């Protein structure tokens, strides 16, 4: 009987650091990482990353080399196997700034935008909450910072940013006059990025903060709130809404903690406001916010679809309807299903607008393009046997800038129109 065939052990694949180094790499400024193809988007995923220098470690600030062996920019590396984004390119160009010079410049540029260009922080008695750092929009990928009064709420999605918080945060406090901060990292992102431990100076006792926006008072809960607890991106849209609600009957569908509702009532002098949301904790917070402003608003804990259908049955209509649902498209695989939800919800909401009334409809899904959002809104309105006279399109405030090579950061889209 012949001997059994010998099983060959699978050959262990070499990591980029173990692979032969590219020709000419001895002249590259280390640590470095080479990309496989020309790409100007900040995110370089694992399949797009080529070899890295043997001394490169997860979180390092590295020189980015293009496929032809030329300097392409600088960024933060995460070559851990679990990392979804292996390289975040912070700047493009052949010049080499170096870590300290670049990061200092980027933070200075972000602060100047808020304070000098936008005038935020100059009158804290009127508005003391806004975005300070907007990730890719400020060329600081993986880092979001919101100001809430004297506190900063920090969200981190990058190991490289996490490793440098001890340097970054004291500088922000000095520049803004804030005193304490709380750092949030999604557990799944922490696992993928290799983030462990506690951030320097993190104040876990910081659970809420009272703030003022456009003269309206809010309480922001950092433990139960979504994302950083309060959607600063709608600040300018809330102020604009108040210009059109004097004496009006207003419906705020998916009201969250009452931002648009309070803008309509307190800032705009609406005759009546109804705020609807499925999140019980958000409705409870909305009630507290109304009490802070001594505002009488009808709060309804209900699913927006079910509530709108009930109002249809009752023959109820409103002079102003605001529709600001949560993100309905979480991944490319859910795109078609999410578009149907947007269309259905816009059909229901448009049917509740009194003839000649104002309809404000929003989407915060970055995977839904501007043209696709317009398409689903239009189809929903037409399905309701109504017509929409578009007046304007807005988005997030200037403290949420959009980088030209990262178009998906234009996530917030707000259509304003009259319904007939």
Give the model's pLDDT for residue 18: 53
Round to whole Å and give the CA distance between 106 and 87: 18
Q: Which residues pair with 250 in a beta bridge?
A: 273, 320
Q: Phi-psi region for residue 414, left (φ > 0), alpha (ψ -120 to 50) or beta?
A: beta
> Do the domains 27-97 and 223-419 sit in the same CATH topology, yes or no?
no
Give the model's pLDDT for residue 6: 46
Give the pLDDT band (50/70/90) at residue 335: confident
Give the model's pLDDT for residue 10: 40
Span between the terminal Cα atoms of the chain, in Å: 88
User: Percent of the chain, pLDDT > 90?
Assistant: 85
DSSP line for 176-241:
HT--EEEEE--HHHHHHHT--S--TTB-TT--EEEEEETTEEEEEETTTSSTTSS-GGGHHHHHHH
pLDDT tens string 203-243? 988 989 999 999 999 999 988 867 777 899 999 999 999 99
In whole numbers, what is the pLDDT of the chain averaged over residues?
93
pTM over 0.85: yes
Lowest mean pLDDT among 12-16, 35-39, 82-86, 403-407: 12-16
The CATH superfamily holding the domain 223-419 is Vaccinia Virus protein VP39 (3.40.50.150)
Question: Which overall architecture, per CATH, does domain 100-193 show?
Answer: 2-Layer Sandwich (3.30)
User: What's the CA angle centered on 202, arms 198 and 207, to 5 degrees?
Assistant: 120
Question: Which overall architecture, per CATH, does domain 27-97 show?
Answer: Roll (2.30)
pLDDT tens string 26-70? 999 999 999 999 999 999 999 999 999 999 999 999 999 999 999
Give the pLDDT band (50/70/90) at residue 19: low
pLDDT higher than threshold 50 for residue 13: no
pLDDT higher than threshold 70 for residue 2: no
The tokens describing 285, both together, are 């917070």
Give the model's pLDDT for residue 341: 92
Span 359-366, average pLDDT: 94
Domain boundaries, the chain: 27-97, 100-193, 223-419
Give the model's pLDDT for residue 92: 96
pLDDT higher than threshold 90 for residue 154: yes
pLDDT tens string 90-144? 999 999 999 999 999 999 999 999 999 999 999 999 999 999 999 999 999 999 9
């Amino acid at each position: 009987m012949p001997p059994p065939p010998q099983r060959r052990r699978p050959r262990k694949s070499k990591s980029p650091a173990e692979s032969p180094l590219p020709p000419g790499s001895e002249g590259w400024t280390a640590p470095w990482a080479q990309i496989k193809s020309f790409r100007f988007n900040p995110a370089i995923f694992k399949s797009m990353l080529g070899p890295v220098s043997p001394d490169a470690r997860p979180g390092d600030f590295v020189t980015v080399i293009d496929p032809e062996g030329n300097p392409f920019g600088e960024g933060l590396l995460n070559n851990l196997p679990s990392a979804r984004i292996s390289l975040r390119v912070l700047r493009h160009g052949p010049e080499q700034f170096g870590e300290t010079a670049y990061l200092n410049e980027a933070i200075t540029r972000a602060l100047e935008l808020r304070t000098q260009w936008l005038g935020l922080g100059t009158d804290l008695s009127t508005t003391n909450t806004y975005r300070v750092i907007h990730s890719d929009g400020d060329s600081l990928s993986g880092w979001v910072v919101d100001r809430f009064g004297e506190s900063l709420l920090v969200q981190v999605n990058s190991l490289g940013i996490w490793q440098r918080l001890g340097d970054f945060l004291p500088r922000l406090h000095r520049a803004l006059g804030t005193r304490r901060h709380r750092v949030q990292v999604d557990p799944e992102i922490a696992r993928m990025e290799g983030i462990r431990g506690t951030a320097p100076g993190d104040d876990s006792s910081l659970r809420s903060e009272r703030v003022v926006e456009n003269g309206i008072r809010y309480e922001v809960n950092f433990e139960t709130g979504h994302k950083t607890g309060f959607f600063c991106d709608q600040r300018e849209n809330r102020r604009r809404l108040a210009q059109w609600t004097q004496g009006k009957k207003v419906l705020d569908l998916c009201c969250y903690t009452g931002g648009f509702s309070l803008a309509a009532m307190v800032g705009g002098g609406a005759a009546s406001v109804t705020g609807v949301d499925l999140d019980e904790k958000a409705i409870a917070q909305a009630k507290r916010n109304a009490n802070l402003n001594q505002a009488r608003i009808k709060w309804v804990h209900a699913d927006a679809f079910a509530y709108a259908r009930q109002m249809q049955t009752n023959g109820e209509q409103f002079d102003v309807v605001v529709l600001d649902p949560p993100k309905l498209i979480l991944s490319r695989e859910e795109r078609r299903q999410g578009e149907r939800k947007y269309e259905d919800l816009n059909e229901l909401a448009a049917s509740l607008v009194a003839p000649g009334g104002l309809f404000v409809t929003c989407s915060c899904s970055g995977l839904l393009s501007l043209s696709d959002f317009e398409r689903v809104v239009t189809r929903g309105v037409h399905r309701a046997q109504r017509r929409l006279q578009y007046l304007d399109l807005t988005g997030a405030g200037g403290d949420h800038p959009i980088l030209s090579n990262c178009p998906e950061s234009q996530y917030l889209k707000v259509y304003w129109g009259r319904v007939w």
